[in-house]
Amino acid sequence: MGSFGVYVHIPYCLQICTYCDFVKFEKKDLPPTDRYVSLLEHEIASRGPRVQQTIPSPIMHSLYFGGGTPSLLSPSEILSVIHALEKQGFQRASGAEVTLEVNPGTLTEASLDKFLEMGITRFSVGAQTFDERFLSVTGRKHSVADTVATLELLRDRGAHFSFDLLFGLPGQHLADVGSDVRRALEYGPKHLSAYCLTLPEKHRLNKGRAPDDEQAQMFDLICDDLAAGGLVRYEVSNFAVPGFESRHNLLYWSDAPYWGIGIGAHSYLPTAPWGVRFWNPPTVRSWELEMARTAGTAFWQEFEPSRVEPLQLHQAITDFTHTALRSTRGLIDTEVQRKFSAAFPDLLHEIERRALPLVRDGLLLRAEKPGRWLLSRAGHALADRVFEPLTFLKDEV
């Protein structure tokens, strides 16, 4: 505990992928990158001091450049953002994790060397699949050859990288997923995130997808093959060689504060009594206008109500429970007590009452030393069925 992280959203993309619901724009539809970087610097300078008043320490244990495609910014632009944070007192902890998401084909030997030199410790490669047929379905412009070149570059430089794998694509079957996992492992990633394609019901990409039971088999296969390759699952969709779990992900699942900067970026700050979640508007223009309006104040209080959520006790308990269960550390009794015993002395019994039927159904496990609840393998696949009874309503607390 006591960790803090910063997320920087870089919304530039080479293409708009058919399945994507992140805040992103094609590069041509945004202001030049140097203008966006100067707005990030402005956000850091104007809001950073107020953020610091809400957190125990501004030392960053994780700094994450996500997107979009952050590797479309030059190394010097990324470095300007790091310097702006440092100038405001957001220093990197010793051994801090600094992640840059990269798209295959956007990294060169020269840019990788510069990124390594400035202290990027981890590259997250949005590769998705090694099959040209499925890449074209997703609308991604990079080729398999681009992916291979980027992975070879990272491997040859000894850089630590994570591989993003997407499965459940139209026309994709079990054997295709197995082949993607095997190929990813050939490059020695220390971390892999595996996501099943999720789409609204009427989305055109739903046509030709494997049925639900085959998608569940795909996920089982991914878990087994990665485990055989030394990557252990530490969260519903994330796998790592022990010791290489993403610290940024762990912040999200351990009730730690984080500040998100840039358009659409989400934050969670531990304001009294139960914390506040808020997020920036999704366009550069509205972000810029809002920054001008809210400088120097508890700025989130002036966001549109639809983008700020001061947590109430029942929401804080629900978030705490769900996020803890997503990670393989599980929901630990002493941590529940530490956070909620004053406000809800009987919470452990209430959690037990709701958890026992899930244990009987094989979705949840009880472990001791320390006493905690954990998702079983079946529970990972059916996490929503576990979370539903562990959702607390206002009149229940």
Binding site for ligand SF4 (CB under 6 A): 13, 16-17, 20, 22, 24, 67-69, 103, 126
* Amino acid (1-letter code) at residue 238: N
User: At closest approach, how far in Å is the CB of 352 from ligand SF4?
Assistant: 41
Cβ proximity to ligand SF4, 134 vs 344, nearer residue? 134
CB of 66 to ligand SF4, least distance (A): 9
CA distance 162 to 102: 10
Helical axes 109-117 vs 75-87, angle rounded to 10° = 10
**Identity of the residue, 68 or 379, whose beta carbon is nearer to ligand SF4 in the bound complex:** 68
Phi-psi sector, 2: left (phi>0), alpha (psi -120 to 50), beta: left
Residue closer to ligand SF4, measured from CB, 48 or 68: 68
Q: What gap in Å lies between CA 363 and CA 341, rounded to an integer?
A: 26
Q: Which is nearer to ligand SF4, 17 or 374 (CB)?
A: 17
Residue 74: exposed, middle, or buried by beta-carbon count in 10 A (0-12, 13-18, 19+)? middle
Residue 379 to residue 385: CA distance in whole angstroms: 8
141: tokens are 């412009």
Give the residue nearest to ligand SF4 (CB).
20
State the nearest-atom distance from the C-beta of 335 to ligand SF4, in Å: 33
How far apart are the two ends of the chain, measured CA to CA in Å? 25
Residue 311 and residue 335 in contact, taking contact as beta carbons nearer than 8 Å = no
| Nearest distance, CB of residue 39 and ligand SF4, angstroms | 19
Three-state secondary structure call for residue 349: helix
Q: How far is the CB of 30 from ligand SF4 (least distance, A)?
A: 12
Hey, what are 56's tokens?
């125990």
In the complex with ligand SF4, which residue's Cβ is closer, 8 or 317? Answer: 8
Contact call for residues 232 and 185 (beta carbons, < 8 A)? no
User: Minimum CB separation from ligand SF4 for residue 190, in Å?
Assistant: 22
Tokens of residue 397, six digits: 């607390």
Q: Residue 90 or residue 279: which is nearer to ligand SF4 going by CB? A: 279
Q: Measured from the CB of residue 212, what is the shortest distance to ligand SF4 in angstroms?
A: 23
Q: For the CB of residue 245, give the shortest distance to ligand SF4 in the complex, in Å.
A: 22
How far is residue 164's CA from residue 390's CA, in Å, rounded to a whole number? 29
Which residue number, 100 or 311, has a Cβ lying nearer to ligand SF4?
100
- Rank residues 68 and 260 by Cβ distance to ligand SF4 and give the closer one: 68
> Where do runs of H (alpha helix) occur along 187-296?
212-228, 247-253, 284-294
Please choose, from the candidates 56, 59, 119, 62, the residue with its C-alpha nearest in 3D space to the C-alpha of residue 96.
Answer: 62
